[in-house]
Amino acid sequence: MTNEIKQRVVDANKRLKSEGLIISTWGNVSEYDKNSNLVAIKASGVPYDTMTTSDIVVTDLEGHIIDGSLQPSTDLLTHLMLYKHFKGIRGIVHTHSMYATIWGQAEKDIPILGTTHADYFRGDIPCTRQMTKAEIETEYEANTGRVIVERFKNIDPFQMRAVLVNKHAPFVWGSDAMDAVNNAIVLEYVAKMAWCNMTMDDGNLRKIDSDMIKKHYDRKYGDDAYYGQKKK
């Protein structure tokens, strides 16, 4: 695990606060290093303002602490479950950002209503089922990951990089810790827009059509994407 990755995890966690996605210590960011097969994650309950790399805990994919003197985030096992099942994702964010959490508390998917949503998420942003009493009382954090994986049985996690946990809050992922934060920012933005649209609904509110979804998503993430500048 490199110091560069630890510092990126610190910077990504701090950005949660600067972007208004969290209050108090209600959030965490991790990054998976494919070279070492280890995960760097924020320590539980540490303040963002004074966070340094010494507040980052490194674990293996089974949750054993490899480096760090603090306890890792209580959501560690959820992160690890996603890394193990969604092969290829490299960063995960968990927040309680207001509008995304509102949709999760309402047990509703966020409907895809426009191109802003389609630019990043290829479809409705899914909400998981309610967890059972046994799932809550035994291995709660790992089971949170399991119900997310279950919800994605027929969903590509690389075209839908976010989920709402029923009665809880969102988890979002990306190509590294900072990319995951960027996706969490977009999630909160589209969650707010969708909520505002629903308050205006007179019974005629329609989702964006599939051709427009495909166009907007593919021009940024498709095989022939042309958004932005070509890499030299």
Tell me the CB-side half-sphere exposure of residue 126, using CA atoms within 13 A: 18
Q: How far apart are CA 17 and CA 179, in angstroms?
A: 16
Q: What is the 3-state secondary structure (H, E, C) of the chain?
A: CCHHHHHHHHHHHHHHHHCCCCCCCCEEEEEEECCCCEEEEEECCCCCCCCCHHHEEEEECCCCEEECCCCECCCHHHHHHHHHHCCCCCEEEEECCHHHHHHHHCCCCECCCCHHHHCCCCCCECECCCCCHHHHHCCHHHHHHHHHHHHCCCCCCCCCCEEECCCCCEEEEECCHHHHHHHHHHHHHHHHHHHHHHHCCCCCCCCCCHHHHHHHHHHHHCCCCCCCCCCC
Which residues of the chain register pLDDT less than 50?
none
Half-sphere exposure of 203 (CA within 13 A, CB side): 0
Model pTM score: 0.95
Distance of CA 29 to the CA centre of its chain: 9
Instruction: Identify whether the C-beta of residue 57 lies closer than 8 Å to the C-beta of residue 70.
Output: yes
Residue 186 CA to residue 204 CA, distance in Å, equals 25
Active site residue 119: yes
Q: Let me know: does 53 contact 6? Beta carbons within 8 Å.
A: yes
The pLDDT, as a whole number, for residue 232 is 63
Residue 189 among the catalytic residues: no
pLDDT at 14: 96
Reported as a single tens digit per residue, the pLDDT across 217-226 is 999 888 889 9
pLDDT, residue 231, reads: 67
pLDDT at 197: 96
The one catalytic residue in 33, 109, 119, 124 is: 119
Cβ–Cβ < 8 Å for 32, 111: no
